[in-house]
A and B are shown apart, each in its own frame.
Chain A
Amino acid sequence: MQHADWSTIYPYLVWALTAIIGLGIALASAGKRLHIRRLPAIDAIEEAVGRATEMGRPMMFVPGLAGVDVPTFQAIAIAGHVARLAARYRSRIILPVTDTVILTMAEQVLREAYAEGGAPDAFNPEDIRFLSGDQFAFASGVVGLMNRERVAANFFFGSFAAESLILAETGQALGAIQIAGTPSTLQIPFFIAACDFTVIGEEYYAVTAYLTREPILLGSVWGQDVCRILLASLIFATTVAQKFLPPSFSNSWGCEGDG
């Protein structure tokens, strides 16, 4: 059974970061005005939905390969936003999933989004498709769907692996407008090469705050930014310390350094 090792700095660091993010949320709740910088990829979502509507072709939203985890939860939240826009234009979204738990979750979120968008009858539960739990069977299923349905816009949000480029290149070959976002660092270059817009790294977790502009969500993004500044300072300080201080110093923090 694995538990936190309190003789090292790591658990304290995680709780400190959590407290800072909590502080950001508290400040935003108290009325502090916060700003979030522009994310062109997210601004392009409406353009992509509009273009698909004009062409009279469906859109595809792929929420990644993972099961129930934080990136997938974010992806489903973004899918809700895209569906709300699609409902406004009575457009169709196809959402293939690789995990059956996500299937039920996505169906509920999209059904509610279409209802909120004023077009509950435009929602077709059959457009939320479980394809396969296997990575490449899923990829070939998505590629087949893209080709048969001639999708006009693709949204790739969530955790992806080697199938990312197969999906994005197929969409590129079809001439679809493509917007991607992933926290999977190894897949970011593939999406940048094959998609029109890409949300990378920490931006991925700021999307819901950016879309809703809810002060509390903006507060959490502000807290995360403070954490990043602190972490960067800590990395700089420890690099300098490791260069000039004896190895016993870093070992006293519970960090296994190579001297």
Chain B
Amino acid sequence: MMFEPLQNSTLNYILVASALIVSVVILIALHSSPPYVRRWVIAGVTFLVGLYVPLEFYIPRHNFLTVWRDPLSDLVRVLAGFTIGLGIVNLVIVHGRHILQRTANFPFSLAFFVGFISMAFVGFLHHYKPDLWAQKPGEGELAFWSAAYKVFFEGLLLPLTSTVFSLLAFFIVSAAYRAFRIRTLEAGLLMAAAIIVMLANVPVGTWLTSWLPQDGWLKWLRLENAALWLTTQINAPAMRGILFGAAVGGLGAALRILLSLERSFAFGGQ
């Protein structure tokens, strides 16, 4: 551990406040600097951090760079924390405007504010004061705000996300219908392969070819064997081939980002 947690709370508060002030000053300085300065700062930081990570990984065992790994991870978390604030501001501005201007979509924005404020309120109370304004919970009972949080999270949010996920079943059917329309040789092959794999995964499919022998070359005509062959000998190599290509592409893209060669796109200016 490079930095030990401070025991002196006053000093801790002073350091946190100083760090916040320094961060705000850096943000203001970056914001008011000309674009070419910002570009150089971004390119420099990208290069240094991008160089640090592979070097730390490839220098064997615990090395002189390893001690900086945790502080850097913390720094990334702090930066992400700043941007979460920006995300909330973005949501409030967009939905606030809809409500103030009474646009056609303002009920959705109202739903956002109700959901956001109530979830945040209940979440904070559940975490810090679960029995505020309520009776003390009995043995084995949940405190009022913890129960409310459970209702909001497990009773509302999880079923809602599961509902959206379940829509996938219907979308798969409509997408499969389009994909399997036999218009070309490739679509025909796709359809044939899909029928074999689907049938092999249901009992009736394996029953259809169960009369074929378990040994000899005829065993490959049994649907479960044909499906296994298709998935392991045709599908898996093709997917791995795409994965290999993408992995090398990712390496090249990472190198371009590290060297800021993508600057014409990412940071403006040709």
Contacts and interface: CB of A to CB of B under 8 A. Distances in A.
Interface string B114-158: 000000000000000000000000000000000000000000010
13 contacts: A4-B57, A126-B97, A137-B164, A193-B178, A193-B179, A194-B178, A204-B246, A205-B246, A208-B262, A208-B265, A224-B248, A231-B244, A232-B244
A129 B200 CA distance: 44
A44 interface: no
A226 to B, nearest CB: 10
Given A14-B251, A17-B248, A202-B249, A212 B105 contact: no
Interface of B: 35, 57-63, 66, 69, 79-80, 83-84, 86-87, 90-91, 93-94, 97, 105, 108, 157, 160-162, 164-165, 167-168, 171-172, 174-176, 178-179, 239, 242-246, 248-257, 259, 261-262, 264-269
Contacts of A22: 255
A70 to B, nearest CB: 5
B252 A228 contact: no
Nearest to A21: B252
Contacts of A139: 164
Given A103-B86, A206-B249, 10 more contacts: A14-B251, A21-B251, A80-B266, A81-B265, A100-B86, A104-B86, A134-B161, A148-B108, A217-B262, A228-B248
Nearest to A221: B252
Nearest to A14: B251
Contacts of B267: 109, 112
A17 B164 contact: no
B108 A101 contact: no
A93 interface: no
Nearest to A73: B257
A33 interface: no
A130 B248 contact: no
Interface of A: 1-4, 6, 11, 14-15, 17-18, 21-22, 25, 70-71, 73-74, 76-78, 80-81, 100-101, 103-104, 109, 112-113, 115-116, 126, 128-130, 134-137, 139-140, 144, 148, 162, 165-166, 168-169, 172, 183, 185, 188-190, 192-194, 200-206, 208, 211-212, 214, 216-217, 220-221, 223-224, 227-228, 231-232
A241 B266 CA distance: 45
A130 B94 CA distance: 10
Given A3-B60, A194-B175, A77 B266 contact: yes
Contact of B249 (A134, A190, A201, A217): A201
Contact of B90 (A14, A71, A81, A103): A103
A165 B69 contact: no
A134 B160 CA distance: 11
A205 B252 contact: yes
Nearest to B166: A136
Contacts of B61: 3
Nearest to A76: B266
B242 A185 contact: yes
Contact of B261 (A137, A185, A188, A217): A217
Of the listed residues B86, B87, B239, B242, the one surrounded by the most CB atoms of chain A closer than 10 A to its CB is B87
B242 A188 contact: yes
A200 B175 CA distance: 18
Contacts of B83: 100-101, 103-104
Of the listed residues A73, A115, A139, A148, the one surrounded by the most CB atoms of chain B closer than 10 A to its CB is A73
Contacts of A193: 175-176, 178-179
Contact of A1 (B69, B84, B254, B261): B69
Of the listed residues A17, A130, A137, A204, the one surrounded by the most CB atoms of chain B closer than 10 A to its CB is A130
B59 A126 contact: no
Given A100-B80, A192-B179, A217 B256 contact: yes
Contact of A71 (B243, B250, B251): B250
A116 B243 CA distance: 35
Contact of B264 (A4, A212, A224): A212
Nearest to B171: A169
Of the listed residues A100, A166, A189, the one surrounded by the most CB atoms of chain B closer than 10 A to its CB is A100
Given A165-B171, A204-B249, A129 B105 contact: no
Given A185-B243, A214-B264, A202 B248 contact: yes
A136 B268 contact: no
B62 A1 contact: yes
A136 B165 contact: yes
Nearest to B59: A3
A223 B252 contact: yes
Nearest to A167: B171
B164 A166 contact: yes
